[in-house]
Structure 1
Amino acid sequence: MKHRFLFIVVVLCALTTAAQIDTLQVLPEVILSDSKLKNHSVGIALEKISDSTIQRSRTALTEVLRANSTIYFRENGPGGVASASFRGTNAAQTAVVWNGININSQLTGQSDFNTLSSKNYDQLDVRAGGGSIIYGSGAVGGSVHLGNDIRFNKGLSTTVTAGYGSFDTQIATAKTQFSNTNFYIDAGLDYQRSENDFDYLDTDNQFNENGQYDNLNAIFNMGYLLKNKGDRTHLLKLHHNTYVGNRNFSGTLTAPSNDGYEDSNTRTLAIWENLGTRFNGKLRAAHIFEQFRYFANNQTDDNDLGKSIRYLANYEATYKLDRKKELTVIGEVNHISAAGASIVSTTRNQGSVVALWKQQLTNQFTYEMWD
């Protein structure tokens, strides 16, 4: 069976502005939120998926990674749950890192990649191996990094994408951004829905009767460059992502289903960066909320509820002893509360400290250590 999908990309507006500044700024044009991914991946298999590849691909992050990485996905079809696996490890041993913080669910210990939209991110990196444990004690398989760039001096641009396909599948995305010499802002929406009522092959008019889904992803990112003081540059950033989904879980030919599932997630992250020639400091504060409702029968209001709230504070300090030696220390504290139908209301406090040492001995040999 052939599935046809039509994409229409309309660039509504593109405007570039430039302005002169009186003082020399050492800040690069693009600011990365997860600098340790770039600085501490020596000898680690790191796959980078370009932003042009992301824009040409389908919206679902699962499909982008399946086509452009070595990750194995266990997926239950469009609208179902999609979990990742590195080198035979399970989904809970794969960390999903959003702008430098681990966003795996506090309820399941893993991430559902069908709730993540590739259109929401400017960077998409896949890091394999146990070196990913700096992003979480359970990330022994690897990590997937989702990043939003802060790009100064890019002017105003807006992009809209719309598509329609088989089984009444509809998508619509829109993103607008503006930046000048010291201010950046962007906002975007990504909506998907489908009846997902495909025919079962080699059957007598049987089809998928409980596969409907619709979801909405919204993003907001902002950056503000403060005035330089000596050799110091201060940058404030804000990242936000909201997801709201409503889906049914497909059954099989021999076991029909009428399950339903509603989930919502919000993530808000504020970052203050203190950048200099030899010392860089980065303070993060985040609020992460997740909630789900599971309906054993989507024709009734009876459901099982689960939710969690997580507060996070993280400080990352990097000191360059010289051009070839670098020490990074990362401290993090978390306060997590959870409740639900099968969860006793509880709270958990946890903290961690990680030290990373990097030294270049020769032009061909660089080593790293962490504890």
Structure 2
Amino acid sequence: MGDGFPFLFFLLTIGWHKQQRSLGVIWGMLAFCSLASAQPDSTFSLPQVQVLAPAARTQPVGARVERLDSAQLAWHASENAAEVLIRRSGFYVRNYGLGSLATTSARGGSSAQTAVVWNGLPLQSPMLGQLDFALLPAFFSDDMAVQYGTSTAAWGSGAVGGALLLNNTSNWKPGLSVSTRTGAGSFGWRQTSSALRYGRMRWASSTRLFIESAQNDFLYRPAPTLPYQRQTNARLQQHAVLQEFFFRARPHGATLALRSWWQNAFRQIPPTMTQQRSEAEQGDAAWRTALHWRKLGQRGVWEIRVAHFEESIRYRDPLLRQDTRSVFRTQMGEAETTLRIGRRWRHQMGLTYVRTQAQTPAYGREARQWRAALFSSWMWQKDCWKAQIDARAEQMDGHWVPFIPGLGVECQLNNHWQLHARAARHYRAPTLNDRFWRPGGNPDLRPENGWSQEIGTNYRQEKGAWRCNLSLTAFQRRIYDWILWARQSGQPFFSPQNIAEVWSRGAESRSEAQYTASWGLVQWAIGYDYTRSTHERPVVNPRIEEGSQLFYVPKHRIFGEILGQWRRLQLTIFYQHTGAVTGLNERVPAFNLTSARAQYVWQGRTFQVGVFGQIENVWNTPYFVVERRPMPGRHFRVGSHFRLQ
């Protein structure tokens, strides 16, 4: 680790002067645990590839994780993360309209209880505690993973209901590769994305460009007896560039990755069905730069990450004479190591430091916040058993947040059946808006906290040309001190209070099957989620009854797809059913949607050419995801892609 020590020393000294005593206590506690537990065992030897892939955070024992690799993501290259999650995951996406704001609910949680992690770094806004998934191009990810359940010990505040992990991989293959994709569709939708990659023995480069625009002027019916209206003030434009450089001193030595992600989006906000017109618009700008050093060894892997994120939102509404701009800047540093200890144990340990500055007119002055944490995971394996113990100790602005332990267990009963279980504590810190917004901000808020448990089973069978996978998971989670903006007696404005308690429980089932033949393949998959997420305390204003389902959390959700491939032709049908939800003002009815896609690909020795056509909302179903925000009827997309290598 000698050549990486200067990076580690720099990371450990960031912001040390006032927090050194607290960090020293945390480091001492976890270091003592490491020394006390590091006893070698001699039953079997873990393959080196397991050591080189530190999975304690990305693939925790006992948790359910669904992955999409680069080949699967290629099908969704013209979509954003929200559209991918709708088709491929159990996350419920609350979409405000075509191209508009999109947030998620995982296992009955709020939109601020889903973490988004980009190459090990959290992307959620510290002001809002959430991220707009409509502004995450799937084209910018090489690997996408959906973690279900609590992972606060791994990722910190916000990873309560689940986490979306976005990863980029280095490609050291020598030579040049070029790819481009273009698309056009209904309502003025246009999109272009291109990638240029060049690699040599010791360095590589990757450049990705993404451009999208749309008018989103679709027709909708406010009510079955009323005539159609055309949506207005709904234009979308966005541009994004992701630049990556990779360096290594020798083929199997330490690697250094430098990434820079620039994005600019402009969106008009259409009127709701109760508004005559709207002139509101919003501009989102983001610049994310990260440096990632990684060294592989015979007994482990060392990693260091430093990053600077800067994002801004400008909201304008000439009708209300509003023009506000919000800005935040975040600096992050993280050092972690994963070591093999004996033949049964693997230990992952790391230190994280995050510093944030944010400013908006409603704060009055600049808001600042710092967080420092140590996390530790012990993984043990013997025969058919695996176990993992997690711990996280963290301070925020000099105050301790709840200590976060976790425990996961897996048992491979035979070649087909596996059992898994996990229990963990979780927390979510108040956002900067919760603490500093005027009027109403409450600097004395406590973090949301509680416990979650899950248990499940997986079945896998392969026989001849057939392959099938089945899984069933049950979960439950209690959250205390839930932060809710409410109006207190005699108070003219809303303010956040720790006044709610929420109990989430449910079940998730998945089934997949595939038949492969000489002419191609057929595969199908279906998922069903039942989620009951209820308030356990009544609230006066807004009026919430005890036992009532949370706003915008459906009890039932079904999603599935059927894919057929014959030679160069692929046909896919997607289906989703979303149950009724309770909105802030009215009930949003259940809906069923079907979409279809066809793709034809020509493959040459050094090139690939493909064309695709897609139909969304095949049956032209009128529906709403958010109350008073209409969604489009049947619409189309066509496009082509070209790749040269």
Q: Does 1:225 align with 2:244?
A: no
Write out per-residue CA displacement over residues 232-260 of structure 1, whole angstroms, 9 at most, x where no aligned residue: 82111111211101001122232132211
User: Structure 1 35/242 Cα, relative in aligned 2: closer, same or farther at 3 Å?
Assistant: farther
Contact 2:57-2:154 at 8 Å conserved across structures: no
> Which residue number corresponds to residue 312 of structure 2?
291
Q: Return the alpha-carbon distance in structure 2 between the equivalents of residues 253 and 85 of structure 1.
A: 24
Aligned-partner Cα distance in 1 for 2:72–2:291: 28
Q: What is aligned with 1:270?
A: 291
| Higher mean C-alpha deviation, range 78-87 or range 148-157 | 148-157
2:94 is aligned with 1:71 = no
Q: What does residue 12 of structure 1 align with?
A: none
Q: Distance in 1 between matches of 2:191 and 2:164?
A: 24
Q: Against the structure 1 CA distance between its residues 153 and 208, is the aligned structure 2 distance closer, same or farther, given a 3 Å change threshold?
A: same
| CA 1:73–1:114: 2 relative to 1, 3 Å | same
Cα distance change, pair 323–155 in 1 and its aligned pair in 2 (3 A): farther
Q: Is 2:140 the counterpart of 1:120?
A: yes
Aligned residues: 337
Tell whether the 8 Å contact from 2:193 to 2:209 is kept in structure 1 after alignment: yes
Corresponding residue to 1:359 among 337, 359, 380: 380
Take 1:319 and 1:37, find their aligned partners in 2: how far apart are those partners?
A: 14
Q: Which residue of 2 aligns with 1:94?
A: 114
1:18-38 CA distances to partner (integer Å, 9 max, x unpaired)?
xxxxxxxxx98xx98x75444
* Structure 1 segment 248-259 matched on structure 2, within 5 A: 248-255=268-275, 256-259=277-280
Contact 1:132 1:141 in 2 (8 A): no
Residue 227 of structure 1, CA deviation: 3.1
* 2:333 corresponding residue in structure 1: 313
Structure 2 residue 68 is matched with structure 1 residue 49:
yes
Structure 2: distance between partners of 1:331 and 1:320: 19
Do residues 213 (structure 1) and 209 (structure 2) align? no
Question: What is the SS of the residue equivalent to 1:151?
Answer: coil
Q: 2:173 aligns with which of 111, 128, 153?
A: 153
Aligned mates of 1:318, 1:356 — CA distance in 2: 9
Partner of 2:163: 143
Within 2, Cα distance between the matches of 1:297 and 1:189?
Answer: 33
Task: Letter of the 2:235 partner, please give it.
Answer: Q
Q: 1:1-55 deviations in whole A, cap 9, x for unaligned? A: xxxxxxxxxxxxxxxxxxxxxxxxxx98xx98x75444x4221100001222211
The letter of the residue matching 2:237 is: D
* 8 Å Cα contact 2:289-2:309 kept in structure 1: yes
Inter-partner Cα distance in structure 2 for 1:331 and 1:312? 11
Q: Which of 74-83 and 129-138 deviates more?
A: 129-138
**Aligned amino acid, residue 223 of structure 1:** F
Partner of 2:159, secondary structure, is coil
SS at match of 1:270: strand
List per-residue Cα deviations over 1:230-287 (Å, max 9, x = no partner): xx82111111211101001122232132211011011111011121011321111000
| DSSP-derived class of the 1:127 partner | strand
Residue 233 of structure 1 aligns to a residue in which SS?
coil
Q: Which ranges in structure 2 are unaligned for 5 or more consecutive residues?
A: 1-47, 392-645
What residue identity is the alignment partner of 2:324?
A: D
Read off the aligned partner of 2:283 and give its amino acid letter: E
Structure 1 residue runs without a partner (length 5+): 1-26
SS in 1 for 2:367: strand
Counterpart CA distance in 1 for 2:199 and 2:178 is 12
Preserved contact between residue 317 and residue 328 of structure 1 (Cα < 8 Å): yes
In structure 1, which of residues 333, 342, 345 is the aligned counterpart of residue 366 of structure 2? Answer: 345
Distance (Å, rounded) in 2 between the aligned partners of 1:164 and 1:138: 37
**Structure 2 residue aligned with 1:162:** 182
1:313-357 deviation per Cα after TM superposition (whole angstroms, max 9, x unaligned): 100012211232111111011111111111231211220001111
Picking from 257, 262, 270, the partner of 1:242 is: 262
Residue 132 of structure 1, CA deviation? 4.7
Amino acid at match of 1:171: Q
Tell me the secondary structure at the aligned position of residue 62 of structure 1: helix
Whole-Å separation in 1 of the counterparts to 2:262 and 2:110: 26
Report the CA distance between 1:85 and its aligned residue.
Answer: 1.1
- Aligned counterpart, 1:16: none
Amino acid at match of 1:111: L
Which is higher, the Rg of structure 1 or of structure 2?
2
TM-score with structure 2 length normalisation? 0.50
Secondary structure at 2:116's aligned position in 1? strand
